[in-house]
Amino acid sequence: MRKTPARLADGREIIYFDESGSPHRELRDPRPSAPPPTASELRFDPLTEEWVVMAAHRQGRTHLPASDACPLCPSTAERHTEIPASSYDVVTFENRFPALSYGEAPPGGADDLPVPRATGEGRCEVLCFADEHDASFVDLSPDRVRTIVDVWADRTRELSELPGVRQVFCFENRGAEIGVTLHHPHGQIYAYPFLTPRTRRTLDAARRYQERTGNNLFADTLRAEQHAGTRIVRRTEYWTAFVPSAARWPVELQVYPNRRVGDLPELTEEECDDLSVLYLDLLGRMDRLFGQPLPYVAAWHQAPVRSRRDLAYLHLELFSVRRAPDKLKYLAGSEAAMGVFVNDVLPETTAQRLREAAQ
């Protein structure tokens, strides 16, 4: 894989990851220069002890453009996009409308805030999986998925070195039902200046469990699911995919390496190869559940950058809001206001359906 960094007209970084050969790249962005993105603001909610990102500049971001106006397609002589190249394999670049960045700080805002505030420093990257506009992740080849796994690891390593970054999050949203704003096959990578609430809660639970038992909570959870077997969807030499026993979503999968590692850069070549095939298999099963493309979120849970890494266990979370061919799950009163999920589908039922959905 060849890695070629460059700069866009407003100074944002773009990096090409080419799988073979040495293509000549026109690295100059022909668009007029523009000011870099504005940084967001962080405000701390003392009631939940969580940081909230205020990013007013994102209100005007691109929203479901026509296919001939997609900003993630390759550039042409007639139309310049975010990617100043006529073709590409995999490419990542700093988001034009980032939730977090090292850009210019936002205006002062309200002076009477009763809560701590800070500049939203961090980094948000867009990761394009292919230059074909109408493709989806499930349509990719295992070789391309293998490249993407390497890119996730590469970006995790590099973003972890940025000032103040405490957590790196690789993820993909698919489907208008999930809320995607661009249909081109892509994911995102966030470098947070704080531990996210989900990570903080799970690591707190892992710490308490370790103090009680001397064991790792994630590893014991994986062993328990492997032993029970009823919610296992597929187990390979290097990975296990299962529906968690307390699944919140009507379709939910967790995918663990059988060997405990903290993050993507710690995976071996063999583990990455196996993941590339397994991941496509699982996405295919999800699409076959209801005979239509399934809207989903794919989220990598990695160890924090500089603390509590001994408690963590890398794993992938896949979930969908679709509960039937013509029905979606919405977060209503109990979920949205109280955080108490009510799942209409038993995890054991979902696991059985996914096992039956094998190609």
The binding site for Zn(2+) comprises 70, 73, 133, 184
> Nearest-5° angle of CA 139, CA 142, CA 145?
80
Residue 259 contacts residue 266 (beta carbons within 8 Å): no
Burial class (CB in 10 A: 0-12, 13-18, 19+), 208: exposed
As a whole number of angstroms, the distance between CA 123 and CA 125 comes to 7
Choose, from 57, 186, 301, 315, the residue flagged as catalytic.
Answer: 186
Separation in Å, CA 318 to CA 52, 110, 142, 172, 343: 24, 39, 18, 10, 16
* 276: its two tokens: 């590339």
* 66: its two tokens: 């026509």
Is residue 63 annotated as part of the catalytic site, yes or no? no
DSSP 8-state code for residue 159:
H
Annotated binding-site members: 70, 73, 133, 184
Task: Give phi and psi for 21, each to the nearest 5.
Answer: 70, -175
As a whole number of angstroms, the distance between CA 231 and CA 221 comes to 12
As annotated, the active-site residues are 186
